[in-house]
Amino acid sequence: MKQRILYLMHLPWGWVKQRPHFLAEHLVPYFDIDLFYRFYYVPFEGRLVRNAVQGGLRVIPFPVLPFNRFGWVADINALLIRTFLRRRISSYDIVWVTNPDMYEIVRPIISDNVRVVYDCMDNHLEFSLIKNNRQLYRRMQGAEWQLMREAQTVIASSGTLAQALVERYGLNRRIDIVNNAIFLSDSMQTQLERSVEDRIAAAQFKLVYIGTVASWMDMELLEAAVTKHNSVTIFLFGPSEASIPSHERIVHLGPIQHSQIYRVLDLADALFMPFKLDELIRGVNPVKLYEYIYSGKPTISVRYYESEKFSDYVHLYTGRDEFLMLLDELISGTLKAKKALDQCRDFAIANTWEVRAEQVSQLLDATSDP
């Protein structure tokens, strides 16, 4: 009989699909999973998509008041969630936590015989919303400290992130590394809306980014690229949490279904990951680089420890001048993809979410109590 997991996800199901979405779906062959997430309208209005639910996963949206992380509203939402879960939580073998604030909510109702797993996908305290709010920072730090001490299993998406957790809390405990991955399926290549296809087709040189547009984007780099090269149009796909430069050749086309990503990659001339380096980004094992590599298209990314692991497939840059030099070579045609398409596909097949889910299953089996 499969063990039952209550999978507490801090993102809406309709957010651009990330690690928690994919892992939950691909753990279904090994576990009986109920995915629970908070659902509130105002903060995410216009930024959600209709993500299909794969693999028999049960998804439970729980409506709460908006502005969930602040003051008395957060307290009311926590009370509502605890009331809903109190009688249910003891029926699970594992409580899977993707963010410390979810653990803070359910910690009082978790019994001793339930195993807690913390899957840390980001350096949560380094997000600007948290870092710049002293009260929220302290609350999140306290919740993560408890989670790091009390979880029977801690997983991190990168070695850099694991090291950051060790240094922050000074705990001598095991942290297992399970990197991010790529989702491959027969249902990929869903067509885009005709207006989007036409907009991309009309551009001369198409430089594409897929992912959340937020404070970690190097907007000055985007402006430098379109200023230097009249042939370049930058297309940004994903929800936006930051101000995007106003320029006719910096085009934000919003979030898309995950099944449409590979159609966008097919239409691109080159792909890029133009991040500003800070402690948040240094801990990221980027999902998008797995997807970019699968496409076989030339790809350029900011250089840091985690991106260097992709250096056999991706062109890396340090600073604006090197980025613009690589872009010059892309446009002239002298810079190509680093590997042949079949080699890129082999890399992707070796790094799917199915592979990661099997790794997690084996990890939980190996570290379970006798």
Task: Identify the CATH class of 3-181+352-366.
Answer: alpha beta
- Can you tell me the distance from the alpha carbon of 137 to that of 155, in angstroms, rounded to the nearest whole number? 22
Residue type, 359: Q
The DSSP code sequence of 141-208 is HHHHHHHHHH-SEEEESSHHHHHHHHHHH------EE----B---TT--PPPPHHHHHHHHT-SEEEE
State the DSSP code for 33: E
Report the CATH number of the 194-349 domain: 3.40.50.2000
* pTM value surpassing 0.85: yes
pLDDT in tens, 110-148: 988 999 999 999 999 999 889 998 988 999 999 999 999
Instruction: Tell me which amino acid residue 67 is.
Output: F
Q: Is 83 helix (H, G, I), strand (E, B) or coil?
A: helix
Is the separation of the CB atoms in 125 and 144 below 8 Å? yes
Report yes or no: 6 and 100 within 8 Å, Cβ to Cβ: no
Helix/strand number for the chain, H first, E second? 14, 13
Give the list of residues 6+ apart from residue 150 with CB closer than 8 angstroms, or none: 107, 116
Gyration radius from the chain CA atoms: 21
Fold matches, 3-181+352-366 and 194-349 = yes
Domain ranges of the chain: 3-181+352-366, 194-349
Q: Which residues pair with 156 in a beta bridge?
A: 120, 177
CA triplet 200, 205, 209: central angle to 5 degrees? 65
Q: Which helix (H) or strand (E) holds 300?
A: strand 299-302
In 3D space, the residue among 309, 325, 329 whose CA is nearest the CA of residue 317 turns out to be 325
CA distances from 301 to 177, 305, 309 (A): 23, 12, 12
Give pLDDT tens digits along the chain (370 positions).
899 999 999 888 888 789 999 999 999 999 999 999 988 754 444 566 677 777 789 999 998 887 666 678 888 989 999 999 999 999 999 999 999 999 999 999 998 899 999 999 999 999 988 999 898 899 999 999 999 999 999 999 999 999 999 999 998 899 999 999 999 876 566 788 899 999 999 999 999 999 999 999 999 999 999 999 999 999 999 888 889 999 999 999 988 888 889 899 999 999 999 999 999 999 999 999 999 999 999 999 999 999 999 999 999 999 999 999 999 999 999 999 999 999 999 999 999 999 999 999 999 997 665 4
The contacts of residue 223 (CB under 8 Å, 6+ apart) are 245, 247, 250
Alpha carbon separation from 268 to 195, 222, 259, 297, 328 (Å, rounded): 16, 16, 16, 8, 16
